[in-house]
């Protein structure tokens, strides 16, 4: 078998592109779950982000305005979820699922006039000297800005959750909302804020798909990435740096299996397509084998509604 045409640098560049929307959405959801809220509407918020980002970008001819628009769009639909679950105390699982259905429908409606339009291209980083370096230049200095932002966001979320007072308060809401409340923190508003952050991240992840990865708008184009992001959060045991690992692993296996097929490797393609999911399951099993540690990581109040009268 001729592996010479398999270019590892090009594969890594593709891998990062495939992983970034998952990473962004997973990071947002991670913060939401750390605050004690389970939002299953990631897919819905992503598709809304994909369509609002696309609309704003084409109308203003600026991809950056589009990305801001996608974050606003994602955060707005997340607010609906936040209002229903935090103020009206509806069931989080049911509301999250409804948000996905609602998001897919609304996005199809909003995007009706935007089929077959090209969005403005997003420039890639091009630093004189650095980006032209062989291998290193392509590997490190030639991505689009969102990829660098997503990696910065991993560090920022880690720092916020583990090294700041605000992060401690947010985690307190997720671990024991009654205790957080008795200390005088407004659990509902803190969670509401986390939900909006999650919506903005998911929205940006959606816009990454519609503006950069597949620069076009087609209905239902996120095709289940939001669900993978949800799985990645558990895979990462609610740790930001593990989320990047999970997302890149997932993206990597997806790209590797497509590239191996293009090479004509005679492993059954069905197995290759299964691998990302099998790896996820295996990691989940390994993680949950150590029950103590797994339960230590999951926010204790995940999915439970809070009301001050309780």
Partner 1 sequence: MKFTKTLATAAAMGLALSGAAFADEDPIKAGFIYVGPIGDLGWTWTHDQGRLALEAEYGDRVETSFVESVPEGADAERVMSQMARAGMDIIFTTSFGYMDPTINVAEDFPDVAFAHATGFKRADNVATYSARFYEGRYVIGEIAGAMTETNKIGYIASFPIPEVVRGINSAYLAAKSVNPDVEFKVVWVYTWFDPGKEADAANALIEQGVDVIMQHTDSPAAMTIAEEKGVYAFGQASDMSAFGPNAQLTAILDNWAPYYIDRVGAVLDGTWESTDVWDGIGAGMVGIAPFSDNIPADVQARATATIAAIASGEFQPFTGPINKQDGSVWLAAGETADDGSLAGLNFYVEGIDGELPQ
Q: Which residues of this protein are in contact with partner 1, per CB under 8 A? A: 5-7, 10-11, 14, 17-18, 21, 43, 100-101, 104-105, 108, 111-112, 115-118, 209, 213-216, 218-227, 254-255, 258-259, 261-264, 266, 268-270, 273
**Cβ 244 to partner 1 shortest distance, Å:** 19
**Cβ 169 to partner 1 shortest distance, Å:** 33
As a whole number of angstroms, the distance between CA 128 and CA 174 comes to 46
User: Which residue, 6 or 125, is less far from partner 1 as judged by CB?
Assistant: 6
**Long-range Cβ pairs for the range 60-68 (8 Å, 24+):** 61/120, 62/120, 63/119, 63/120, 63/121, 63/122, 63/211, 63/212, 66/119, 66/120, 66/207, 66/211, 67/146, 67/204, 67/207, 67/211
How many other C-beta atoms lie within 10 A of the C-beta of residue 103? 31
**Cβ 123 to partner 1 shortest distance, Å:** 13
User: Which residue, 275 or 297, is less far from partner 1 as judged by CB?
Assistant: 275
User: Which residue, 35 or 92, is less far from partner 1 as judged by CB?
Assistant: 92
User: Which residue, 35 or 100, is less far from partner 1 as judged by CB?
Assistant: 100
- Choose among 90, 115, 99: nearest CA to 202: 99
User: Which residue, 199 or 206, is less far from partner 1 as judged by CB?
Assistant: 206
**Cβ 178 to partner 1 shortest distance, Å:** 34
**Cβ 161 to partner 1 shortest distance, Å:** 29
3-state secondary structure 89-153: CCCHHHHHHHHHHHHHHHHHHHHHHHCCCCCCCCCCCCCCCCCCCCCHHHHHCCCCHHHHHHHHH
């Amino acid at each position: 078998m001729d592996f010479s045409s398999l270019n590892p640098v090009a594969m890594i560049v593709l891998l990062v592109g495939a992983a970034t929307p998952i990473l962004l959405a997973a990071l947002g959801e991670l913060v939401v779950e750390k605050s004690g809220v389970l939002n299953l509407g990631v897919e819905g918020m992503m598709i809304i982000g994909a369509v609002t980002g696309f609309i704003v970008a084409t109308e203003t001819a600026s991809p950056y305005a589009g990305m801001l628009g996608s974050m606003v769009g994602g955060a707005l639909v997340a607010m609906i979820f936040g209002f229903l679950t935090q103020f009206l105390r509806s069931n989080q699982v049911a509301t999250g699922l409804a948000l996905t259905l609602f998001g897919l429908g609304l996005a199809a409606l909003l995007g009706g006039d935007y089929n077959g339009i090209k969005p403005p291209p997003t420039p890639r980083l091009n630093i004189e000297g650095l980006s032209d370096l062989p291998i290193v230049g392509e590997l490190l200095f030639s991505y689009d800005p969102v990829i660098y932002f997503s990696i910065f966001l991993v560090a920022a979320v880690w720092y916020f959750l583990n090294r700041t007072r605000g992060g401690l308060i947010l985690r307190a809401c997720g671990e024991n909302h009654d205790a957080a409340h008795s200390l005088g923190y407004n659990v509902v508003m803190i969670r509401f804020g986390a939900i909006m952050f999650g919506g903005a991240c998911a929205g940006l992840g959606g816009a990454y798909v519609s503006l950069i990865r597949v620069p076009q708008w087609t209905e239902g184009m996120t095709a289940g990435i939001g669900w993978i992001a949800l799985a990645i959060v558990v895979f990462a045991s609610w740790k930001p740096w593990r989320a990047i690992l999970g997302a890149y692993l997932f993206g990597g296996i997806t790209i590797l299996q497509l590239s191996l097929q293009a090479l004509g490797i005679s492993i059954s393609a069905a197995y290759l397509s299964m691998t990302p999911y099998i790896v996820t399951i295996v990691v989940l099993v390994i993680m949950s084998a150590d029950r103590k540690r797994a339960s230590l990581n999951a926010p204790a109040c995940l999915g439970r509604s809070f009301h001050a009268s309780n």
